[in-house]
Amino acid sequence: MDYFQMSEQELRVHEASLAEQYEAYKQQKLKLDMSRGKPCPEQLGLSKEMLDTVTSGSQLQARDGSDYLNYGGIDGIPEAKELFADILGVSPKEVIIGGNASLNMMHDTISRAMLHGLRGSKEPWAKLPKVKFICPSPGYDRHFAICELFNIEMIVVGLTPDGPDMDAVEKLVLEDESIKGIWCMPKYSNPEGITYSDATVERLARMTTKATDFRLFWDDAYNVHHLTATPDPLKNILSACKEAGNPDRVFIFSSTSKITFPGAGVAVMAASEDNLNAIRKQLSVQTIGPDKINQLRHVRFLKNPEQVQLHMEKHAAIIKPKFDLVLDKFEHEFGGSRIASWSKPNGGYFISLNTLDGCARKVVQMASEAGVTLTGAGATFPYGQDPRDCNIRIAPTYPSLAELEAAIDVLCVCVKLTSIRTILSKSA
Amino acid sequence: MDYFQMSEQELRVHEASLAEQYEAYKQQKLKLDMSRGKPCPEQLGLSKEMLDTVTSGSQLQARDGSDYLNYGGIDGIPEAKELFADILGVSPKEVIIGGNASLNMMHDTISRAMLHGLRGSKEPWAKLPKVKFICPSPGYDRHFAICELFNIEMIVVGLTPDGPDMDAVEKLVLEDESIKGIWCMPKYSNPEGITYSDATVERLARMTTKATDFRLFWDDAYNVHHLTATPDPLKNILSACKEAGNPDRVFIFSSTSKITFPGAGVAVMAASEDNLNAIRKQLSVQTIGPDKINQLRHVRFLKNPEQVQLHMEKHAAIIKPKFDLVLDKFEHEFGGSRIASWSKPNGGYFISLNTLDGCARKVVQMASEAGVTLTGAGATFPYGQDPRDCNIRIAPTYPSLAELEAAIDVLCVCVKLTSIRTILSKSA
């Protein structure tokens, strides 16, 4: 039913009934957490065998005879570079393998740019009066947190089903030399679940930037994280940059956090050899190198892109029913209501729910009081400021189906109640 | 025999015979590397069982019920904090556990100080016209490399058998506000093998510094790496700083690189809770956390300080004969010659050899030409500049006893030959 076609009387009756339901949920003293995109225990179980791939009896020699248990190598073992190069569609020389967190590689890349500059920099970014990043939003809160840490001013641009609003992006980078980067989640984006179109990828690769050291921070976190048998295609950004004559424009990041383990995974970055050689030089001062044995575990377990794909299908089999449950509930509760719209992603970890303007913060607060923890409203925008206060990020993977159902029931009641009250307050 | 008592004729005869020996070594086409302090294969073997402590069947739940395979926790698992707190003599709240490399933690600590400042900083170090560190020398080349990367000016002070020349240090830090830190290797220092006296530790903790954010960068790399049954005692620096009313003065670093594996170890830093809370806040933006499973492996294998001590005795049993071989050779070849002096460490990874002034570079070059790679001459001083060109760092742990003997034979001939030529050129 269309809430905007209901009479005040009808709305008030509905409100009373919803308020009763809400109070009943509160009595259940639920404790459900949907705040972060976390794999569930069954997903973690899929990779436990990896822990058996390296034991005291294992062969731990590299091809060159060196021992992976000893010193040597700062940018990853060759086998791991080859595997991730295949997955990302780049060459092994265009890959650096890190420790557990791709976030760490993103942070450190910006930290290095601040202190030492990048290829093409006139000076280190920290010496400039102002550094700005474009932040297509809704987006990933941890990207925005890095900008805040480094006092990088964030410029919001909209996110369309094809990617960032490219007209806006092109205009901004053409005119403003202080814009040094853009955060991109090109595939199954957090939280919208959109995948950049070929045209978007090409325009990002090709566009003219006033800054000589502008970079795409390409967080390809959900590269192989499909939910359907017909994955979204994504054009290869490094190839596109090379073709456009801007080979150094992009830093690609990815990790196995949601392939194997968030608590014991492997992170990777990819870029032009020139870009990476500059980083390798700094890495050789920063560290004696990453954990090589955990890289070896990953290579032995994941083997090749085909095996990775089969492995990811097992993940999808576990989490697809959770996405379906949320989407079915939303359709059932909100279909035709005009009080909510939501994403229907083909992959990734999130469903993005948009309420009526001015409702998101209240909904998240109400849900929290009924024991359902959601990602903080506003978190998907720079500085935590959702200009329309309407976006709520749903992370359906961690809870069990039963818990998820309970949580979404609570959420739906909170959305409906808040919507009705908003409509009533406006008509008053 | 005292080379300075030999006649020119005697020296020339000796030179000819040594030159012949050197040519013979060259013919052997040796390929021996003593350039870095690396554990040997037998040492790595001591910890291989650790790889079996976590398997697919293992209990991987934390005490609070969370799964170590999943997200959560940015500063290390509680069990690891407790173990390393016990080893370092601090409280678990005064510990952060990192990834594979303590060097990474040192680098990042300075990087954060540059960009964000430390507790007590008036502004981030990168905003200052000049930042300086005191570098007791000979010291560790990787410390100096970090300073060079960040354009931190290095001030050399001498290293005595009790630690840095404290009269010089106290004077410098009292007068110069731009001096923000000092590199300290307090126990079995690289390369001298000295351990700081209680008085040195107390003076470092107590001294008045002009900078309000001065720090001791306390690289306690060889904390448990004894070679004898009577280890050098080292006064607890964090306690000393607290007693002196300077609880925030010290950052302690250590790792298991030479306890378990350089290629798959665990790094740790310790400091006051206030210091660490500031870092934890930044870490929560920088990373989703370190590999928790490798920390668990270490806890299960190393168990407690007593077990660590037993484990380190096994290391000592392997490497002590190598140190003895070098020291015996030096005594035999150089005893009474007055052309060389050397350290006799009770622990750590190095023997420091001092030649006549102006000889080190030539010796290392000659040895290299005969197939024996030593640490580059000068590497133990800031900017690679050994003012007397006399210090050579010997890393005896990696080669087998037979290889080591061959390498030291070559080295001894190179030292003697270079010394004679130097004496002759001066008397000419």
Could you give the ipTM of this predicted complex?
A: 0.97
Which of A44, A49, A103 is facing B288, going by the closest CB pair? Answer: A103
Query: Is some CB atom of chain B closer than 8 A to the CB atom of A107?
Result: yes
Q: Quote the pLDDT of residue A427.
A: 80
* pLDDT of chain B, 428 residues: tens digit per residue: 899 999 999 999 999 999 999 999 999 999 998 988 999 999 999 999 999 999 999 999 999 889 999 999 999 999 999 999 999 999 999 999 999 999 999 999 999 999 999 999 999 999 999 999 999 999 999 999 999 999 999 999 999 999 999 999 999 999 999 999 999 999 999 999 999 999 999 999 999 999 999 999 999 999 999 999 999 999 999 999 999 999 999 999 999 999 999 999 999 999 999 999 999 999 999 999 999 999 999 999 999 999 999 999 999 999 999 999 999 999 999 999 999 999 999 999 999 999 999 999 999 999 999 999 999 999 999 999 999 999 999 999 999 999 999 999 999 999 999 999 999 998 86
A70–B285 C-beta distance less than 8 A: no
Rounded-to-5 percentages of helix, strand, coil across chain B: 45, 15, 40
Q: What is the pTM of this model?
A: 0.97
**Is A372 within 8 Å of A340 (Cβ atoms)?**
no
Which of B69, B103, B148 is facing A288, going by the closest CB pair? Answer: B103
Contacts of range B164-167, beta carbons closer than 8 Å, 24 or more positions apart: B164/B134, B164/B136, B164/B196, B164/B200, B164/B204, B165/B136, B166/B199, B166/B200, B166/B203, B166/B204, B166/B207
Cβ-based contacts of A266 with chain B (< 8 Å)? none
A67–B41 C-beta distance less than 8 A: yes
Q: CA nearest A255 in B: which residue?
A: B288
A215-219/A250-255 β-pairing:
parallel
Query: Is some CB atom of chain A closer than 8 A to the CB atom of B291?
Result: yes
CA A168, A171, A173, A177 torsion: positive or negative?
negative
Q: How many CB atoms lie within 10 A of CB A240?
A: 20
Q: How many CB atoms lie within 10 A of CB A7?
A: 9
Tokens describing residue A41 = 């225990």
Q: Quote the pLDDT of residue A77.
A: 97
- CATH superfamily for A3-44+309-427 is Aspartate Aminotransferase, domain 1 (3.90.1150.10)
Query: Is some CB atom of chain B closer than 8 A to the CB atom of A139?
Result: no
B114–A69 C-beta distance less than 8 A: no
CA distance B42 to chain A (A): 11
Rounded Cα distance, A198 and A218, in Å: 15
Chain B residues 213-272 with a CB less than 8 Å from chain A: 257, 261-265
B99–A290 C-beta distance less than 8 A: yes
Query: Is some CB atom of chain B closer than 8 A to the CB atom of A150?
Result: yes
Cβ-based contacts of B257 with chain A (< 8 Å)? 71, 288
- Per-domain residue ranges for chain A? 3-44+309-427, 61-302
Q: CA nearest B46 in A: which residue?
A: A56
Q: Which residue of A66, A104, A108, A147 to mutate against B (max B Cβ within 10 Å)?
A: A104
CATH topology of domain A61-302: Aspartate Aminotransferase; domain 2 (3.40.640)
Q: Quote the pLDDT of residue B305.
A: 98
SS3 A377: coil
Which of B104, B114, B290 is facing A115, going by the closest CB pair? Answer: B114
Cβ-based contacts of B66 with chain A (< 8 Å)? none
